[in-house]
A and B are shown apart, each in its own frame.
Chain A
Amino acid sequence: MLRTIWIMWLCELKKFSRSRSRIIGSLGQPILFLLALGYGLGGVFQAAGQGSYLQFLAPGVIGMAIIFTSIFNGVQIIWDRRFGFLKETLVAPVSRVAIMLGRTFGGATVATLQGCIVFVLTLAFGFHPYSWAFVIPAILVMFLTASLFSAFGITVASFVTDMQGFQLVLNFLVMPMFFLSGALFPLTHIPLLLRVLATIDPLSYGVDGMRALLINAPHFGIATDVTVLLAIMIAFLSIGSYRFTKLEF
Chain B
Amino acid sequence: MPNIIEVNDLKKTFGSVEAVKGISFSVPQGATFAFLGPNGAGKSTTIKMLTTLLRPTSGTILIDDHDPARDPDAVRRVFGIVFQDPSLDEDLTAWENMELHGVLYGISRGTRRARISELLAFVEIDDRRDSYVREFSGGMKRRLEIARGLLHHPKIIFLDEPTLGLDPQTRKRMWDHLGMLREREGITIFFTTHYMDEADRNAETIAIIDHGSIVASGTGEDLKRQTRKESLEDAFLELTGHDIREEGASGLDHLRMMHRMRGR
The residues of A with any CB-CB pair to B shorter than 8 Å are: 3-4, 7, 11, 14-15, 18-19, 78-79, 82-85, 87-94, 161-164, 248-249
Chain B positions 40-76 with a Cβ under 8 Å from a chain A Cβ: 48, 51-55, 73-74, 76
- Give the contacting residue for A15; candidates B74, B77, B91; CB below 8 A: B91
**Nearest A residue to B53 by beta-carbon distance?**
A249
Q: Within the complex, which residue of B88, B106, B252 is in contact with A85, where a contact is CB–CB below 8 Å? A: B88
Could you tell me if A82 and B259 are in contact, using CB atoms closer than 8 angstroms?
yes
Count of interface residues, chain B, beta-carbon cutoff 8 Å: 38
B103 CB-CB contact with A under 8 Å: yes
B100 touches A91 (CB 8 A): no
How far apart are the CA atoms of A249 and B54 in the complex, in Å? 6
- Add 17 more A-B contacts to A15-B92, A88-B83, A91-B81 (CB < 8 A): A4-B103, A7-B103, A11-B89, A15-B89, A79-B262, A82-B256, A83-B85, A84-B87, A85-B87, A88-B101, A89-B104, A91-B79, A161-B255, A162-B254, A248-B55, A249-B48, A249-B53
For B87, the closest partner residue in chain A by CB is: A88
Assembled-state Cα–Cα distance A92/B81 (Å) = 10
Can you name 12 A-B residue pairings with CB atoms under 8 Å? A4-B103, A11-B96, A15-B89, A78-B255, A79-B255, A79-B262, A84-B86, A85-B89, A91-B81, A92-B105, A93-B74, A93-B76
Given A83-B259, A84-B89, decide whether A11 and B100 contact each other with a Cβ distance below 8 A: yes
* Whole-angstrom CA separation of A121 from B258 in the bound complex: 34
Taking each of A78, A82, A91, A94, which has the highest tally of chain B beta carbons within 10 Å of its own beta carbon? Answer: A91
The distance in angstroms between the C-alpha atoms of A237 and B53, with both chains bound, is 22
Q: Which residues of B contact A249 (CB under 8 A)?
A: 48, 53-54
Tell me the bound Cα distance from A84 to B255 in angstroms. 12
Residue interface mask B142-154, A partner, CB < 8 A = 1: 0000001000000
Decide: B259 and A91 in contact? CB cutoff 8 A: no
Cβ-based interface call for B163 (8 A): no
B45 closest partner in A (C-beta)? A249
Known: A11-B92, A15-B91, A83-B264. A91 touches B258 (CB 8 A): no
Q: Which residues of A contact B264 (CB under 8 A)?
A: 83
* Contact status B100-A3, CB under 8 Å: no
Instruction: State in angstroms the CA–CA spacing of A84 and B91 once bound together.
Output: 10
- How many whole Å from B249's CB to the nearest CB in chain A? 12
B2 in contact (CB, < 8 A): no
Q: Which 7 A-B pairs have the closest CB atoms?
A: A92-B104, A93-B76, A162-B251, A85-B89, A93-B73, A15-B91, A7-B103
Task: For the complex formed, measure the closest distance between the CB of A64 and the CB atoms of chain B, giving whole angstroms.
Answer: 24
**A48 vs B73: C-alpha distance when bound (angstroms):** 63
How many Å lie between the Cα of A93 and that of B223 in the bound state?
38
B96 touches A92 (CB 8 A): no
Q: A91-B53, A92-B76 are in contact. Are A79 and B259 (CB under 8 A)?
A: yes
Bound Cα distance A164, B251 (Å): 9
Known: A84-B89, A87-B53, A163-B254. A14 touches B259 (CB 8 A): no
* Complex: chain B residue closest to A246, CB-CB: B55
Q: How far is the CB of B36 from chain A (nearest CB, A)?
A: 22
Known contacts A84-B87, A91-B51: A162-B100 contact under CB 8 Å: no
Q: Verify B258–A163 contact, CB threshold 8 A.
A: yes
Q: Which residues of A contact B54 (CB under 8 A)?
A: 248-249
Report the bound CA distance from A22 to B53 in whole Å.
32
Q: Are A14 and B53 in contact (CB under 8 A)?
A: no
